[in-house]
Structure 1
Amino acid sequence: MTPTFDQPFWDDLYSASDRIWSGRPNPHLVTEASALTPGTALDIGSGEGGDAVWLASHGWQVTAVDLSEVALARADAHWQQGLTAQDATGTGSETPSRVSWQHRDILQWSPLAGAFDLVSSQYSHFPTAVMHELVGRLAAAVAPGGTLLVVGHEDHGHRHADDSSHAEHAHTEGAEAAQPKAEPFGPEFFYTPDELAGLLAPAEWEILVREFRPHPAREGRDAVLRARRRP
């Protein structure tokens, strides 16, 4: 039986623990975004905000969206604590980057076309047709010259809903919370870098990275796609 990842599931999950993830950004995001010129960024499935906070602290104007209102409130508190610490030490910028935390169902919501210099989806896993449609909407949100970054788990044939591969948001460097057991995800929930690249028209996109890459903090590899929208 395929697990249902609706808002009550995620709100219950986050409410059951003070913290689900580590608060650190996903390593593939750091690797791929560090050399980019900061601009506007969209963080899909932002969870407790590790990626969004990292992006904002590196000069990005971030829109962070998530299905869980509990996660968004926690992420905003994390961000505000960081701003307070900067003010106390005098290290804050006069015009600090901002994060806009937005409650959205990414399967129903379409971001504004061409609005973002970076669109990042980290460990979103849905059935093939749903995932392909989502990638299409995310790609449409990338501005000319901007970057689309999609990262997902490789299919090892043993992922479960109670590990770090669950759908919608899976910022994977923290301790895993106790979650209900569920049947393993089928292969339709996973994707390859070549599959993702094939969704982007060559006339509109330059594929810069498409590979399986080891994760530095756990076993297994991740599918990584980074593409640049042609100006």
Structure 2
Amino acid sequence: MTDDIAAGTPASTRTPPPADGYVGDPAVRAKWDDVYADRERLWSGRPNGALVAGTAGLTPGRVLDVGCGEGADAVWLARGGWDVTALEVSGVALERATGHARDAGVTVHWVHAGLAEAALPPASFDLVSAQYPALLRTPDAAAERALISAVAPGGVLLLVHHAGMETRQADEGDFDPADYVWPSMVAALLDDDWTVEVDEERPRVIPEGGAGAHHTHDVVLRARRLR
């Protein structure tokens, strides 16, 4: 969804889905709609470098793009032969993403929902990609478990975030790292059905233009589900 979550919004009480089909916290949707509406284009329009590197050598199959934003990763994956399901809370972002996919001549299955509320089919994706996601923490670790449960046996979970965000101090902009899910929290929930292939900090491939370009390093978690 985003390269920079420092303006995050705490979770609020869930309500039934509105007429447009969105499933999730309406306050989260409204917040991200405002973020996207504030700029004609928020991100660089190019696929995330960590995704390009992390999928090298993988055989295309079914992929879930969590927090797809304006669709650059989803379009790149579809062009590479993946069957893409792309999930996003912002309707403004999804409208842009749909247009980009149409212009590229690729098909993407769009889901307007929060990750925890989307009721995705379990164990059904060969790749679950979450690039810098703004996933809110809950007492039941719903987002973490949704990421893990979506991966099919033999599939890969690729979770990337900005280094240092987890340990930042809460600030006056209402950003508190304790509100969000970080790769270490997901890694802690992986059991013997998983093998961790990558869990490290590395220099980031920095895009030209777009929000978040000031971040220089990534934390990358890549894990494969064995069974």
TM-score grouping bracket, smaller chain normalisation: 0.7 to 0.9
Segment of structure 1 superposing worse, 14-23 or 213-222: 213-222
AA at the equivalent of 2:95: A
2:215 matched to 1:225? no
2:66 matched to 1:44? yes
Q: How many pairs does the alignment contain?
A: 197
> Alpha carbon RMSD of aligned pairs, Å?
2.5
1:212 is paired with a residue whose SS is strand
Q: How does 1:144-223 map to 2 (within 5 A)?
A: 144-156=153-165, 158=168, 182-187=173-178, 189=180, 191-193=182-184, 195-202=185-192, 204-217=193-206, 218-223=214-219
In 2, Cα distance between equivalents of 1:229 and 1:8: 35
Structure 2: stretches of 5+ with no match in the other structure: 1-6, 11-26, 207-213
Aligned sequence identity (%): 39
Structure 1: stretches of 5+ with no match in the other structure: 84-96, 162-180
Residues 215 and 112 of structure 1: CA distance in aligned 2, closer, same or farther (over 3 Å): same
Residues 128 and 65 of structure 1: CA distance in aligned 2, closer, same or farther (over 3 Å): closer
AA at the equivalent of 1:145: G
Match of 1:108 among 117, 122, 127: 117
What is the TM-score of this pair, normalised by structure 2?
0.77
In 2, Cα distance between equivalents of 1:34 and 1:69: 30
What is the TM-score of this pair, normalised by structure 1?
0.76
| Cα shift readout 1:102-141 (whole Å, capped 9, x = no counterpart) | 1112232231111111011111244554694312112111
Q: How does 1:16-31 map to 2 (within 5 A)?
A: 16-31=38-53
2:126 matched to 1:117? yes
Residues 170 and 177 of structure 2 are in contact (CA less than 8 Å); yes or no, is this contact kept in structure 1? no
In 1, Cα distance between equivalents of 2:196 and 2:130: 16
